Amino acid sequence: MKLKNLVALSFIFSLLACAPPKPVKSYNQGLHIVPQPNSLVEQEGVFKITDKTVIVASTEDVKAVVDFFVGKIELSTGYTLATQVEKPSKNFVSVSIDSQLDLNEEGYTFQSTPSGIEIIGKSEKGVFYGLQTMLQLLPAEIESSQLVTDVDWNLPCVEIKDEPRFKWRGMHLDVCRHFVPVENIKKHLDMLAMFKMNKFHWHLTEDQGWRIEIKKYPLLTEMGSKRIEGEGHEYGGVYSQEDVKEIVAYATERMIDVVPEIELPGHALGALTAYPEFSCTGGPFKVRNIWGVEPDVFCAGKEETFKFLEDVIDEVVTLFPSEYFHIGGDECPKDRWKVCKLCQKRMKQEGLADEHELQSYFVQRIEKVLLAHGKKMIGWDEILEGGLAQSAAVMSWRGEKGGIEAASQGHDVVMTPGNWCYLDHYQGASHNEPVAIGGYTTLEESYGYEPVPKELDPEMAKHVLGTQGNVWTEYMYTPELVEYRVYPRLIALAEVNWTQKSNKGYDHFLQRMDNQFVRMDNHSINYHIPLPEGPSNRVAFTDVAEVEFTTTRPVKMVYTLDGTEPTAQSSEYTQPFRFTDDATIRIASVLKSGKMSTDRTVKVVKEVFKPAEEVKTTKEGLKELYAEGNFIRVADIEKVTQWDEKDNSKKSSKHYSYENPSASIFTGYLEIPEDGIYEFQTNLDQFFLGDDLLINNDGEVKRFSRNNVSIALAKGKHAVKLIFLNNIIGGWPQAWNGPKVHFRQVGEEKFTTATKSDYSF
């Protein structure tokens, strides 16, 4: 009986050994390494990883790196690969270090043949990146945390010699405006490691919250981490020192340096709320619940301020082994210093010409503290003001000018200007995308950034350490929205940092990204997929409507016209729609993997010109009814028992300051200059045209309009009602814009802001 079972098992295994190869999914076909290696030669054949493959690691430092990858490979393949010292004749992955390699410290060579793989790193970091390349040559499913059985673990035979172009390949993350939990930070670190990035710049303190535990000053987190939002609820979040150690250890295992940022002398309101004695005025203060810059900063005239910061630094440096320590140094208003007797006394004692030199004094004192701890100081380019000690490095964010100046003076610089590197910018049309701070930076623009300005000669260019993506989270209300903003633009910057200019190509990058998106799916990354853009949400027409959609990068679009949700198998959009009657378009983008964007619904409505009203008006502007109070939703105004009529003939800022929340209802008539189709956008909570609610922004963050509509209007006066809640939602004070309506005739490029002369009542 046992013999029969053995024969049967032997027969089954022989069938498995002869099993036909599994189909290769389209996104796994070809080479798709990101960032692109600097030298890659394709060879004939493939190497197949099986449960019999062995890892050859001759030294303990190599084995420590190898163990990390053995664990990853086991999750998706089910194979527990053995590690040994002796190299067999076949079916092996040999990993070693050769400090004599003609490459920089993070460089490696990689060669795969049908018999085995040979990875040689200049250092442990080189070994790590060589093994990452091995993973990227395998099917994307290698990144799965679950067992995968429908792929063959084959990788093509290639010969690679590779090293990074820049030393600093980073991501900055602000966790103060919106907190990012530990598990979500780990997801970002996984992405950094996958794409060979090596710096995580962790922005830990701000006007809107202090996030890191300091044991000597417990009120920093007990009080300074919490704010009361404009909507009325408390918001906060804290990293204990144990959390910090966990993050740093996780990053270190992935060859990533964690660079802490403790903001000074400005952006300090979180700290001053807890310890107001370190301010110029003595407070009291509240943690800022709106975005922007706070005038209250650390007092430069008090010795106690410097003692406090020294104590904080003493604790922080023990948690972060990184050679760099970021001190911020940006956007420090000098208002308080100009009238502070102690600050003015300090300036006189130190022979400082102005408050900019006082800031330089402040920064240089802190630099000495850091040097005593063996740390290099780095800060935003404002730290150049008034002079800077030679050992300090600069991050150039206000364009490239600061970086050019710093490099010319012999300072190391990280080039991170907003036009290319600010990942809080829009990457699609603002009326389609989730609300953002502003700006517009596409994937192609991030990919096209060149960190070495042409103004720098080769000797000065050596001071450019690299670049990073900056992630400011004012309008990133959830960890998922952070991911949506960051990816894939951060990956474009990864290739900017690693790959020589001559080896880059945007079209080739996009082809390789089809595979990388699947890898990110296996990490549950909520990356951006371009939305179909072009028309507003409501398209009016009188005869024939042509509706055209585009995307910010090439991607397939699918649609339905029957009101159902589109799927990856729905009709493909290939040319503009043409309608002679009402229609509902639901349209979405779809990747090669089948993953889709959210869909847009566009109503196409055939209309006659809405007639103007025969009415006589006597005054310019709109009639305004006004009530004080904190109104978050339009329904809240139902509780108003007494409305006051505002006299719009007098200028007053009282009604539109965020310190005095209020509600306003405007009524009157809007003058339309000629018959036409008009598109409207507004930051109002509600905009009525006649009896119709044309735009409803109720409850939204109204930094930018997201609900544009068009309508056919005849020349003349049209009744309007505007509901404006002067509140704070999502950190955005409506008072900063005031009530505005913008319109344009379809076909015009720019919107016109409706002014007092366009209205009457």
User: Which residues, at least 6 apart from 286, have a Cβ–Cβ distance to it below 8 Å?
Assistant: 227, 228, 273
Which pLDDT score is estimated for 391?
A: 83
Which pLDDT score is estimated for 260?
A: 98
Distance set, CA 48 to CA 91, 94, 139, 229 (Å)? 8, 14, 11, 56
Mean pLDDT on 99-114? 97
% of the chain residues with pLDDT over 70 = 96
Confidence of residue 546 (pLDDT cuts 50, 70, 90): very high
pLDDT of 167 > 60? The answer is: yes
Confidence of residue 61 (pLDDT cuts 50, 70, 90): confident
pLDDT of 576 > 70? The answer is: yes
Which pLDDT score is estimated for 460?
A: 95
Which pLDDT score is estimated for 702?
A: 94
Mean pLDDT on 193-222? 98
Mean pLDDT on 292-315? 98
Mean pLDDT on 186-203? 98
Which pLDDT score is estimated for 392?
A: 92
SS (H, E, C) 230-281: CCCCEECCCECHHHHHHHHHHHHHCCCEEEEEEEECCCCHHHHHHCHHHECC
Which pLDDT score is estimated for 3?
A: 43
Confidence of residue 655 (pLDDT cuts 50, 70, 90): low
Mean pLDDT on 107-117? 98
Which pLDDT score is estimated for 1?
A: 41
Q: Is the dihedral of CA 623, 628, 633, 638 positive or negative?
A: negative
Q: How far apart are CA 590 and CA 573, in angstroms?
A: 11
Among all chains, which residue has been given the structure tokens 């100046």? 405
Q: How do residues 387-420 score in pLDDT, each as one tens digit?
A: 787 789 999 999 999 999 999 999 999 999 999 9
Under a CB-based contact definition with an 8 Å cutoff, are residues 258 and 322 in contact? yes
- Bridge partners of 533? 550
Q: How do residues 218-250 score in pLDDT, each as one tens digit?
A: 999 999 999 999 999 999 999 999 999 999 999
pLDDT, averaged across the chain? 95
Closest CA to 491 of 459, 528, 532: 528
- The dihedral region occupied by 90, where left means phi > 0, alpha psi between -120 and 50, and beta the remainder, is beta
Which pLDDT score is estimated for 650?
A: 54
Residues 99-106: contacts with CB under 8 Å, at least 24 apart: 99/123, 101/126, 103/161, 103/162, 103/163, 104/163, 104/164, 106/163, 106/164, 106/198
Mean pLDDT on 572-594? 97
DSSP letter (8 states) at residue 531: P
Which pLDDT score is estimated for 739?
A: 94
- Bridge partners of 146? none
pLDDT of 652 > 60? The answer is: no
pLDDT of 16 > 80? The answer is: no
Q: How many CA atoms lie within 13 A of 286 on its CB side?
A: 9
Distance set, CA 454 to CA 281, 395, 413, 417, 450 (Å)? 46, 18, 15, 15, 9
| Fold held by 31-162 | Chitobiase; domain 2 (3.30.379)
DSSP conformation letters of 70-92: HHHHHHHH----EEESS--SSSE
Q: How many CA atoms lie within 13 A of 266 on its CB side?
A: 23
CATH number for 168-521: choose from 3.30.360.10, 3.30.540.10, 1.10.1840.10, 3.20.20.80: 3.20.20.80
Q: How far apart are CA 236 and CA 627, in angstroms?
A: 31
Report domain extents, the chain: 31-162, 168-521, 538-606, 623-760
| Residue 308, both tokens | 């406090």
Under a CB-based contact definition with an 8 Å cutoff, are residues 255 and 293 in contact? no
Q: How far apart are CA 558 and CA 570, in angstroms?
A: 6
Q: How do residues 500-530 score in pLDDT, each as one tens digit?
A: 999 999 999 999 999 999 999 999 999 999 9
Confidence of residue 430 (pLDDT cuts 50, 70, 90): very high
% of the chain residues with pLDDT over 90 = 93
pLDDT of 96 > 80? The answer is: yes
Q: How do residues 313-364 score in pLDDT, each as one tens digit?
A: 999 999 999 999 999 999 999 999 999 999 999 999 999 999 999 999 999 9
pLDDT of 648 > 80? The answer is: no
Report the b/e string of 673-687 with b at 16+ CB within 10 A. Answer: eeebbbbbbbbbbbb
| Residue 653, both tokens | 């800022």
Confidence of residue 654 (pLDDT cuts 50, 70, 90): low
Mean pLDDT on 671-678? 96
Which pLDDT score is estimated for 705?
A: 86
